Amino acid sequence: MLIDPFERHVSYLRISVTDRCDFRCVYCMSEHMTFLPKADLLSLEELDRLCSAFITLGVKKLRLSGGEPLVRRGIMTLVKSLGRHLKTGALEELTLTTNGSQLARYANELVDYGVRRINVSLDTLDEANFVAVTRWGKYDKVMAGIEAARAAGLRVKINTVALNGVNDGEIENIVRWCGEKDMDLTFIETMPMGEIDGDRSAQYLPLTEVRERMAKTWTLDENDHNSGGPARYVSLRETGQRVGFITPLSHNFCESCNRVRLTCTGTLFMCLGQEDAADLRAPLRESADDAAVIAAIREAIARKPKGHDFLIDRTSAGAAVPRHMSVTGG
């Protein structure tokens, strides 16, 4: 088992399988990004080996992310091979976070390989707004992707980043739409990660305001549902719908953190909001035997910090960490 210095059991690994993406969401990336040279990426076989080492060490849940995980060439080979750990029971859940653009193509295969639930990031239901937020996204394609995922039997959770001046007028609409389609919904506060083109403090919309807007239409009851993650939930009394809030800034959730994040180059970040990281690529390539990589993972977990130091206000300049969310997959 992987236990960190604060007695937290690390049982969840998120893997950014590529830093590339077919969108350029305004809060995530700048329009002109410099991506990693392909030669620096771990192969899909190496990613499988690393994930499998984590599973040996007691990791029960894997989430593929990115960049956009479904644009990595051959990604289904990795999903399929990781699926073998579901069959043995060593792994409890294999899932992914996606922008939905490739779901129409891959939804059935995901189900075939054991994926049961996915998160789709969608910040607006207004097509023009969608283009403004994602810059390169195709709204119809994402909507078709979401429908394909539902038709394939995947449970879909929508993640919506609350953005001042962008989707603050759509909160009610998004909640209703998810309710109608029986999809879970979580709102997320924007986090200061990586340089973007605009001013982050102008985009930041505290979820307290989202709650206030929702409370004008529904009665919000605190819900003690615990998904094992950072979200806190409310139930809408009138509809029974559950809505989550991830509030890294207005409420810090680090004390129960059970996760670490692996980049596509084999760097392990023990905290989303801190810079300390461990290189797993060198020990992985050192030998075909996993002893060195397992030792490196244990050593890294022993350094997992207590929490992040995110702060967005008009006096704090720039990003809290220089890397973009796409490096560690959120």
- Side-chain half-sphere of 303: how many Cα atoms within 13 Å? 13
Q: Write the binding mask 2 to 41 for ligand SAM: x where contact by CB under 6 A, - elsewhere.
A: -------------------x-----xx-------------
Distance, CA of 330 to CA of 147 (rounded, Å) = 24
Of the pair 94, 191, the CB lying nearest ligand SF4 is at 191
Q: Write the binding mask 10 to 29 for ligand SF4: x where contact by CB under 6 A, - elsewhere.
A: -----------x-xxx--xx
The neighbour count for residue 288, using CB atoms within 10 Å, is 7
Q: Write the binding mask 269 to 308 for ligand SAM: x where contact by CB under 6 A, - elsewhere.
A: ----------------------------------------
Residue 193 binding target from ligand SF4, ligand SAM, none, CB below 5 to 8 Å by type: ligand SAM
- Three-state SS for 25-41 is CCCCCCCCCCCCCHHHC
Helices within the chain (DSSP H only):
44-56, 75-88, 103-112, 127-134, 139-151, 171-180, 200-203, 207-215, 281-286, 291-301, 325-328
Contact status: 103 vs ligand SAM (CB under 6 A): no
Distance, CA of 230 to CA of 245 (rounded, Å) = 8
Among 118, 158, 188, 205, binds ligand SAM (CB under 6 A): 188
Rounded to 5 degrees, φ, ψ at 140 are -60, -35
The neighbour count for residue 11, using CB atoms within 10 Å, is 18
| Rounded (10°) CA dihedral 281, 283, 289, 290 | -80
Of the pair 67, 248, the CB lying nearest ligand SF4 is at 67
Of the pair 14, 24, the CB lying nearest ligand SF4 is at 24
C-beta separation of 221 from 234 below 8 A:
yes
Tell the smallest beta-carbon distance from residue 79 to ligand SAM (Å). Answer: 15
Distance, CA of 157 to CA of 190 (rounded, Å) = 18
Tell the smallest beta-carbon distance from residue 122 to ligand SF4 (Å). Answer: 10
CA 178-183-185 angle, to 5 degrees, is: 70
State the amino acid at position 125 in one-letter form: L
Q: Write the binding mask 107 to 146 for ligand SAM: x where contact by CB under 6 A, - elsewhere.
A: --------------x-------------------------
Stretch that binds ligand SF4, among 64-72, 193-201, 221-229, 275-283 (CB under 6 A): 64-72
Contact status: 161 vs ligand SAM (CB under 6 A): yes
Of the pair 229, 305, the CB lying nearest ligand SF4 is at 229
Pairing of strands 277-279, 267-269: antiparallel
C-beta separation of 51 from 5 below 8 A:
no
Contact status: 189 vs ligand SF4 (CB under 6 A): no
Stretch that binds ligand SF4, among 61-69, 84-92, 212-220, 263-271 (CB under 6 A): 61-69
Of the pair 95, 326, the CB lying nearest ligand SAM is at 326
Site residues for ligand SF4, window 116-145 (CB under 6 A)? Answer: 121
Name the residues that contact ligand SF4, by CB under 6 A.
21, 23-25, 28-29, 66-68, 99, 121, 326
Name the residues that contact ligand SAM, by CB under 6 A.
21, 27-28, 65-66, 68, 97-99, 121, 159, 161, 188, 190-191, 193, 325-326, 329-330
